[in-house]
Amino acid sequence: MNTQIHSTAIVDHGAQIGDGSRVWHWTHVCSGAKIGCETSLGQNVFVGNNVAIGDNCKIQNNVSIYDNVFIENDVFCGPSMVFTNVYNPRAKINRKDQYLSTSVKKGATLGANCTIVCGITIGEHAFVAAGAVVNKDVQPYALMAGVPARQIGWMSQYGEQIPLPLEGEGTFKCPHMNLEYKLTGSELKAYEV
């Protein structure tokens, strides 16, 4: 197995870490965690028990992935971004039975210092800007920014803004990938060309 685990990291017995993944300084992976292949967990990352992280993900420094967060392949979690798992926490009230699940779909980017409030889905290839606070579902390819976050545009799988309106009709051919994007109403889809 070609997994690299730094000597300061703690990986509890039972944690599953795929081939080619890297676990860096002062990171803690709990026993129930499932991490795919070729995924990087940066410095000071925490991964809870009921967590699944796909292949080829980049989890940057100082990110805590608490129970009930599920991340698909090719997701980027920027430095110090935040996941929550309880909607209305109180220190004195135990709400572990009220964890809400959060799903981050394939290819999404979560920018540095953004916050993802629990119980939502981030769609495929969506892009959350640095510092945004996302408190509702995000559709595929949406570019989200602000507090609370709102959609301000569309992003390609390549990671560049697509020059299409938020609603209407239109197409855009990516100059970097063999993909064409088609906007119908308020939904964007990609097709191979």
Query: Residue 1 pLDDT > 80, yes or no?
Result: no
Closest by alpha carbon to 37, among 23, 57, 61? 57
pLDDT above 90 (res 100): yes
Residue 128's closest CA among 101, 155, 103?
Answer: 155
Average pLDDT over residues 68-82: 98
Give the domain ranges of the chain: 4-160
C-alpha span between 67 and 50 (Å, rounded): 5
Give the pLDDT of residue 77: 98
Inter-residue contact 63 to 76 (CB < 8 Å): no
pLDDT of the residue at 33 = 98
Mean residue pLDDT across the chain: 97
Mean pLDDT, rounded, for 60-83: 98
Q: How confident is the model over 11-65, as pLDDT tens digits?
A: 999 999 999 999 999 999 999 999 999 999 999 999 999 999 999 999 999 999 9
Q: Report, as an integer, the average pLDDT of 159-180.
A: 97
User: pTM for the full model?
Assistant: 0.97
Which superfamily does 4-160 belong to?
Hexapeptide repeat proteins (2.160.10.10)
In this structure, what are the phi and psi dihedrals at residue 16, rounded to the nearest 5 degrees? -105, 120
pLDDT in tens, 112-152: 999 999 999 999 999 999 999 999 999 999 999 999 999 99
User: H-helix or E-strand containing 23?
Assistant: strand 22-23
Pair of tokens at residue 59 = 């989890």
